[in-house]
Amino acid sequence: MDVRWGCGIGRAFRPAGLLRLGMAVSAAWLSSATPSLGQEGPKADARGFAVTEPVKVDRARLDAHRARLRRGDTALRPALRKLVARADALLAYAPVSVMQKRDLPPSGDRHDYMSLAPYWWPDNSKPGGIPYLRRDGEVNPEVKNYPDKEHLPVLCANSWTLGLAYHYTGEEAYARHAATLVRTWFLDTATRMNPHLRYGQAVKGITEGRAEGLIETRHFIYALDAVGLLQGSRHWRPADQQGLQAWFRAFLQWMETDAIGRDERGAKNNHGVWYDAQRLAFARFTGDTARAADAVRETLRRLDSQMDERGALPDELGRTRSLHYSAYCLQAFLLVAQMAREGGTELWTAVTPNGRSLPRGIDFLMPYLTGAQPWPWRQIDTFRPRMAYGMLWPAGVRFGRTDCFAILRTDAGPTFDDSVLTLL
């Protein structure tokens, strides 16, 4: 155990020529490059628009688009070319794991996920620097000693991109690499993450892990999307599926029973909604319909209590980045609605006993996101539309809101129409 912890525990379709060219480029890159682990994440176009940021996939929509491409529809081909180019580049992305930490977590087991709360620094007036002190907005470079938090979202985004490329092209190289990435993080004995998050967002000398750390695993939702897209590939075996289901069954059990998980479940802001989203995704993946239904009911109760009569989320309005967190919290609600609909429950237009609904929340935010009205609450950094893209995209798709797409189009410029988003 690290003695510096001190006081103990707190709580498709692809043209053959393009396929050969893409694989040749990838082979050349693989033979010559030495990629920096964990650094290859979602790329942006010339205007800075993140074109491969994960979005919860709608499988029926993907199947329809793939059928269009196979019938010779050319409208989606530019987007497919971008997806293929991105997936080819990701064949050079080396697997990452929780074993790459420089320092050990308090347990002494490198298989345990670990992250530090970024704004806490050693107190130079105290032996060993503990307990740490908060310096808001200043990131302690010591967080780099625990790169799990950096690797996790990139791993999930890259697996998602590779899975999407496999779905559209049928190219097994993408499935093989996505499967390798997922197995390395979750299943391989030498590198797997233990299925808990006891040491997330830790503060040395104060707590070995905090409930707030659990939001870091929200990215697993997109890794599970990738796994869903790999079904049918010879590189994702039944044993892999069963092993991953067992892993998430254990993680879900930990989420619901450990004090850290229970604290996060009780959060009254975006953390609670993201807890629901994870619980729903993991329950659906493991086939636990009772837990999934309970997660949906809990989200409806949360919507009723966290949203006010205007459609605002007061617990987010008090933040220093209040516009960002308002959109971020609404994104989690929309994500739950999408997964609930796949399970046969309609949340998109549901109205709670107090008259709260997702359309009301969208209506509240849109004048501020379009710039029609100035945001009157605190937002200490510059808010950019891409920060709300995870909310704008599903809202635009599900409700046919042209104002949502107009914001994205303005941010992306001329590249929007052939961005990978159109394949979704």
- Determine, yes or no, domain membership for 315: yes
Cα–Cα distance between 423 and 235 in angstroms, integer?
A: 24
- Determine, yes or no, domain membership for 351: yes
Among 227, 260, 293, residue at a domain's last position: 260
H-run or E-run covering 302? helix 289-306
Residue 5 has pLDDT above 70, yes or no: no
Cα–Cα distance between 51 and 42 in angstroms, integer?
A: 7
H-run or E-run covering 369? helix 358-370
Q: What residues contact 331, with CB distance under 8 A and at least 6 apart?
A: 388, 390, 391, 394
The answer to which of 34-43, 213-222, 322-331 has the lowest mean pLDDT is: 34-43
Tens digits of per-residue pLDDT, 369-381? Answer: 999 999 999 998 8
Residue 146 has pLDDT above 50, yes or no: yes
Q: What residues contact 249, with CB distance under 8 A and at least 6 apart?
A: 286, 288
Mean pLDDT confidence for 27-53: 37
Tens digits of per-residue pLDDT, 173-191? Answer: 999 999 999 999 999 999 9
The percentage of residues in the chain with a pLDDT greater than 70, rounded to a whole number, is 87
Count the residues in the chain: 424
Cα–Cα distance between 251 and 196 in angstroms, integer?
A: 6
Cα–Cα distance between 70 and 72 in angstroms, integer?
A: 5
236 lies in the same domain as 327: no
- Determine, yes or no, domain membership for 419: no
Retrieve residue 177's tokens. Answer: 């690499």
Residue 313 has pLDDT above 70, yes or no: yes
Mean pLDDT confidence for 142-152: 93
- Determine, yes or no, domain membership for 33: no
Cα–Cα distance between 183 and 49 in angstroms, integer?
A: 30
Residue 10 has pLDDT above 60, yes or no: no
Parent domain of 69: 1-27+53-260
246 lies in the same domain as 375: no
Residue 255 near residue 275 (C-beta atoms within 8 A) = yes
CA dihedral 212, 213, 218, 220 (to 10 degrees): -160
Tokens 């994960």 belong to 54
Cα–Cα distance between 173 and 26 in angstroms, integer?
A: 10
pTM: 0.87
Q: What is the CATH number of the domain that holds 235?
A: 1.50.10.100
What is the amino acid identity at position 121?
W
Please report the pLDDT score of residue 412 as a whole number: 83
Please report the pLDDT score of residue 137 as a whole number: 65
- Determine, yes or no, domain membership for 417: no
Please report the pLDDT score of residue 44 as a whole number: 40
214 lies in the same domain as 333: no
334 lies in the same domain as 377: yes
pLDDT band at residue 239 under the 50/70/90 scheme: very high
Helix (H, G, I), strand (E, B) or coil at 201: strand
pLDDT band at residue 115 under the 50/70/90 scheme: very high
Among 260, 294, 313, residue at a domain's last position: 260
Most confident option among 9-13, 31-35, 114-118, 292-296: 292-296
Please report the pLDDT score of residue 381 as a whole number: 87
pLDDT, the chain, mean: 88
Tens digits of per-residue pLDDT, 257-280? Answer: 999 999 999 999 999 999 999 999
For residue 251, which of 292, 296, 299, 217 has the smallest C-alpha distance? 217
216 lies in the same domain as 361: no
With 0-12 / 13-18 / 19 or more C-beta atoms within 10 angstroms meaning exposed / middle / buried, residue 3 is exposed
Please report the pLDDT score of residue 118 as a whole number: 85
242 lies in the same domain as 273: no
233 lies in the same domain as 279: no
Residue 37 has pLDDT above 80, yes or no: no
Tens digits of per-residue pLDDT, 197-206? Answer: 999 999 999 9
374 lies in the same domain as 397: yes
243 lies in the same domain as 363: no
Mean pLDDT confidence for 222-240: 97
- Determine, yes or no, domain membership for 346: yes
Please report the pLDDT score of residue 43 as a whole number: 46
Task: Report strand pairing: 199-202 vs 114-116.
Answer: parallel
- Determine, yes or no, domain membership for 117: yes
75 lies in the same domain as 222: yes
| Number of domains observed in the structure of the chain | 2
Among 197, 230, 260, residue at a domain's last position: 260
H-run or E-run covering 115? strand 114-116
Retrieve residue 363's tokens. Answer: 């209506």
With 0-12 / 13-18 / 19 or more C-beta atoms within 10 angstroms meaning exposed / middle / buried, residue 189 is exposed
Burial 384-422 (b: 16+ CB within 10 A, else e): ebbbbbbbbbbbbbbbebebbbebbbebbeebbebbbbb
Cα–Cα distance between 115 and 214 in angstroms, integer?
A: 10
The percentage of residues in the chain with a pLDDT greater than 90, rounded to a whole number, is 77
Please report the pLDDT score of residue 138 as a whole number: 83
Burial 302-334 (b: 16+ CB within 10 A, else e): bbeebbeeebbbebbbebebbbbbbbbbbbbbb
17 lies in the same domain as 163: yes
H-run or E-run covering 114? strand 114-116
